[in-house]
């Protein structure tokens, strides 16, 4: 009796192990599939993020790559023509500045976009020295916080 029990248990355990092995294979396949999706999608959809000075330092090498560039909107540089539906402005950081032409939809320009706002423009740097942006992201300014903190003489202020 005891013998037969053992005999009947063994194949079950073996079968269990075989099933586990199959499941591991399935799991690995899934991991490979996810890895594949990643490997294909990253080059297709990535863009390089850089600050304006990094872009300038790169020079020609930056032309025609998909880029996201962060800097501040130069005060007084915004030329918006509602009728023609065009938006041009200059972004700057320290000594560097870059003219930007926006080609996206006006409805997608963030509300807070404006003078002296920190923005990230996404698009291409053209050999003509102009940045053609199809997307603008703006950082929410916690301006009031910043003002308060300078008034107190402390803190680096908000972003």
Partner 1 sequence: MSITDVGYVAVLLSLVVAFYSGVAAIVSARRGLEELEASARNGVFAIAGLLSVAGFLLFYAFFSHDFGVRYVYVNATRDMPWYLKLSAFWGGQEGSLLFWAWGLSIFTAVVIWQNLRRNREFMPYVIAVLMAIQSFFLVVLGFVSNPFERLPFSPLDGQGLNPLLRDAGMLGHPPFLLAGYMSWSIPFAFAIAALLTGKPGAEWIRAVRHYTLVAWAVLWIGLLFGAWWAYHVLGWGGYWGWDPVENVALMPWLMGTAFLHSIIVQERRGMLKVWNFVLIILTFALSIFGTFVVRSGVLSSVHAFAKSAIGPLFFLFLAVILVFSLALLFTRLSSLRSEQTFDALVSRESSFLLNNLLLVGITFAVFWGSILPLVSEAVRGVKLTVGPPFFIQVAGPLFLALMLLLGICPLLAWRAVTWATLWRNFRWLLLGTLVVAGVLPFVGVRNPWAIVAYSASAFALASIILEYYRGVRARRRFSGEGYPKALSTLVSRNKRRYGGYIIHLGVVIMAVGIIGSLMFQKVREATLSAGESMSIGGYTITYNGNAEVFMPGHQMIQAKLDVLQGEKKVGEMGPGKSIYRNYENQPVSRIAIRSGLGEDLYIVLAGYEGNSLATLTVFVNPLVAWVWIGGVVLLLGTLVAGWPELQARAVPVRRPVRRVVASEA
Instruction: Classify residue 55 as exposed, middle or buried by CB count within 10 Å of its CB (0-12, 13-18, 19+).
Output: buried
Please say whether the beta carbons of 94 and 71 come within 8 A: no
Please say whether the beta carbons of 120 and 137 come within 8 A: yes
Q: Could you tell me the two tokens for 104?
A: 């996206």
Q: Which of 9, 46, 75, 126 binds partner 1 (CB under 8 A)?
A: 46
User: Is residue 105 involved in binding partner 1 (CB under 8 A)?
Assistant: yes
Selected range binding partner 1 among 3-11, 32-40, 71-79, 90-98, rule: CB under 8 A = 32-40
User: Least distance from C-beta 60 to partner 1, angstroms?
Assistant: 17
Instruction: Classify residue 12 as exposed, middle or buried by CB count within 10 Å of its CB (0-12, 13-18, 19+).
Output: exposed
Q: Which of 56, 63, 78, 80 binds partner 1 (CB under 8 A)?
A: 80
CA-CA distance, 99 to 76, in Å (whole number)?
13
Pairing of strands 131-138, 118-125: antiparallel
Q: Which of 9, 57, 75, 106 binds partner 1 (CB under 8 A)?
A: 106
User: Is residue 56 involved in binding partner 1 (CB under 8 A)?
Assistant: no
User: For partner 1, which is the closer residue by CB, 99 or 141?
Assistant: 141
By CB under 8 A, name the binding residues for partner 1. 12-13, 15-17, 19-20, 22-23, 26-27, 30-31, 34, 37-38, 40-42, 44-50, 68, 80, 82-85, 105-112, 114-115, 122, 137-142, 144-145, 148, 152, 156-159
């Amino acid at each position: 009796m005891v013998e037969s029990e053992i005999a009947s248990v063994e194949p079950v355990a073996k079968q269990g192990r075989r099933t586990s092995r199959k499941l591991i294979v399935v799991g690995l396949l899934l991991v490979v599939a996810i890895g594949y999706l990643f490997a294909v999608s990253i080059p297709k959809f990535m863009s390089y993020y850089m600050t304006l000075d990094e872009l300038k330092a790169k020079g020609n090498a930056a032309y025609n790559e998909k880029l996201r560039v962060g800097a501040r909107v130069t005060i007084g540089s915004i030329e918006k023509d509602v009728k023609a539906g065009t938006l041009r402005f200059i972004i700057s950081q320290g000594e560097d500045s870059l003219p930007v032409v926006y080609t996206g939809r006006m409805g997608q320009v963030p509300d807070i976009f404006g003078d002296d706002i920190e923005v990230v423009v996404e698009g291409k740097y053209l050999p003509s020295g102009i940045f053609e942006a199809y997307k603008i992201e703006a950082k929410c300014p916690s301006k009031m916080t910043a003002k308060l903190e300078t008034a107190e003489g402390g803190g680096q202020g908000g972003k």
